Amino acid sequence: TSDASQEDLVEEKCLLKKYTYRSCNKVFCQPWQKCIDGTCVCKLPYQCPKNGTSVCSTNGKSYPTYCHQKSFECLHPKAKFSNKETCRAEGKFNVSLNYGNSNSEGIVEVKLVDQDKKMFLCKSSWGITEANVACLDLGFQQGALSTQGRFRIPENFHINSTECLHVHCQGLETSLAECTFTKRRTKSSPSLAGVVCYRQNSGWWSTCLILSLPSRLFKPCLNKQTNDGYTQLSVMEANDIWNLSCFGF
């Protein structure tokens, strides 16, 4: 297929039909969503299966199952999943960005539940999947643009080897509180995780693009590429990423 015909597919399938990460004729809806008129929309909590383990939310309430909580969160985004055993409103999980040029980028710092001290995240375990979840947690619904950025870190900034956390996410989470955190010692001062989130004015098409494809394919959508000729673009539906045939290839 020629470059011209590939670009035509991008424009026809992605731009004209306006597929997004919620287009259920292209991706599977989450268990707490249902497909209506080609779009994944939130289920009502009572539409979730009743069998399961109860979970907590940051609003201090308990829900019968994970699906019930995620359904409520889908309708009320501030009521996020909490990994606490005892449900109460105080002692919330918190994520913040530091040393960025705007509120949508920076070095990632978290405060775990029942912990007084904030901690940075280690870069070695940080990827676009975790970055997407962090951006969702911060309210950037289009996810992460990149894990790289030019952050304004002070020259006298120093971190000890024990002061960063490793995090692993599956890609379905909407809060870093749902991910797994581990603390490991390193011999040298570790590099820290950073993120640049998509802002609202990035355009609807930013949720329709696939990871790591040649930049030349994106000319109708995006005038941005890395030195190796590839653009790293995030997709919200990580569980179905390779089936997100946004461009009809």
* Domain identity same for 168 and 238: no
Q: Which two tokens stand for residue 107?
A: 């070095």
Question: Which of 28, 69, 80 is CA-nearest to residue 45?
Answer: 69
* Domain identity same for 44 and 118: no
- 77 or 162, higher pLDDT: 77
Q: What is the DSSP letter of 11?
A: I
| Boundary (domain end) residue, out of 45, 61, 89 | 89
pLDDT for the residue numbered 90: 57
| CATH number for the domain that contains residue 40 | 3.30.60.30
pLDDT tens sequence across 143-192: 898 888 888 877 767 665 557 889 999 888 888 988 888 887 655 556 88
Which domain range does residue 222 map to?
A: 1-19+208-249
* Domain identity same for 187 and 230: no
Question: Which of 240, 104, 233, 123 is CA-nearest to residue 170?
Answer: 240
Which amino acid makes up residue 229? G
* Domain identity same for 116 and 187: yes
* Domain identity same for 1 and 83: no
CB atoms within 10 A of CB 88: 11
Checking DSSP bridges between strand 144-146 and strand 105-111, what pairing results, if any? unpaired
| pLDDT (average), residues 111-132 | 86
pLDDT tens sequence across 112-121: 877 778 888 9
Q: Is the overall model pTM greater than 0.85, yes or no? A: no
Mean pLDDT of the chain: 73
Q: In the predicted model, is pLDDT for residue 208 greater than 60?
A: no
pLDDT for the residue numbered 131: 93
Number of domains in the chain: 3
Which amino acid makes up residue 108? V
Query: Is the four-CA dihedral 72, 52, 133, 19 of positive or negative sign?
Result: negative
* Domain identity same for 125 and 174: yes
* Domain identity same for 123 and 72: no
pLDDT tens sequence across 40-53: 999 999 999 988 88
Q: In the predicted model, is pLDDT for residue 247 greater than 50?
A: no
**Quick one: how far is CA 108 from the chain centroid?**
13
d(CA 9, CA 248): 6
d(CA 249, CA 246): 8
pLDDT tens sequence across 7-16: 555 556 666 7
Exposed, middle or buried by CB within 10 Å (0-12, 13-18, 19+), for 211?
middle
